[in-house]
Amino acid sequence: MTVTLDGKSLTVAETVAVARRDATVTVADGARERVRAARERVEDVTAAGEPVYGLNTGFGELVDTRIPADRVRDLQTNLLRSHAAGGGDDLPRELVRATMVTRVNALAKGYSGVREAVVDHLVALLNAGVHPVVPSRGSLGASGDLAPLAHLALVLVGEGEADLERDDGGVERLDGEAALA
């Protein structure tokens, strides 16, 4: 079974098919166009020198602190690191897969401004049987998903840990960099 994400029509049954039965994931062309268009808007605004909260500014009381363009990547990586907190048992693979597919579907709406490569890498991880290690306890803030999503994203920048499902049925724990290889 193949589940094509368009940001609009993902069903519970499709989520379960990806999470439990390893359905293949693809992204619809229209969703890709929305992701690219949103990213272009972000790039246009930042190229014009406009402040974008949390992208090229500090957070909270540091909202008026501008981050130099050559430090924005560091800010974003450090944000992931700071939010990737937690402990307890690792979430089961099917919950991580469900989180990944619903996150890709949310990104497919085209509202976030992420690069298309983020979507592609998450889909590639899902389809390759690679699952970031996400602790079951320790989320931050009212949204409740910052810590789990930070653990997902750390693997995308070559950090954190992920489990790889091997062909022999075993699972191998990898560091984030190896998970991307």
Structure confidence by residue, pLDDT tens digits, 34-54: 999 999 999 999 999 899 998
**Residue 140: its pLDDT value, please?**
61
Rounded Cα distance between 33 and 28, Å, is: 9
CATH number at residue 16: 1.10.275.10
**Residue 145: its pLDDT value, please?**
85
Please list the helix, strand and coil fractions of the chain in percent, rounded to the nearest 5, in that order. 50, 15, 35
What is the residue whose two structure tokens read 């930070």? 150
The distance from CA 5 to its chain's CA centroid, rounded to whole angstroms, is: 15
Rounded Cα distance between 138 and 151, Å, is: 11
Reported as a pLDDT band with limits 50, 70 and 90, residue 128 is very high
Catalytic residues: 53
Q: What domain range is 105 assigned to?
A: 2-180
**Residue 109: its pLDDT value, please?**
98
Give me the number of domains the chain comprises.
1
List pLDDT tens digits, range 11-33. Answer: 999 999 999 999 999 999 999 99
Per-residue pLDDT at 139 exceeds 90: no
Indicate yes or no: pTM above 0.85: yes
Task: Name the percent of the chain lying above pLDDT 90.
Answer: 87
Read off the tokens for 49: 């020198």
Q: What is the mean pLDDT of residues 63-68?
A: 95
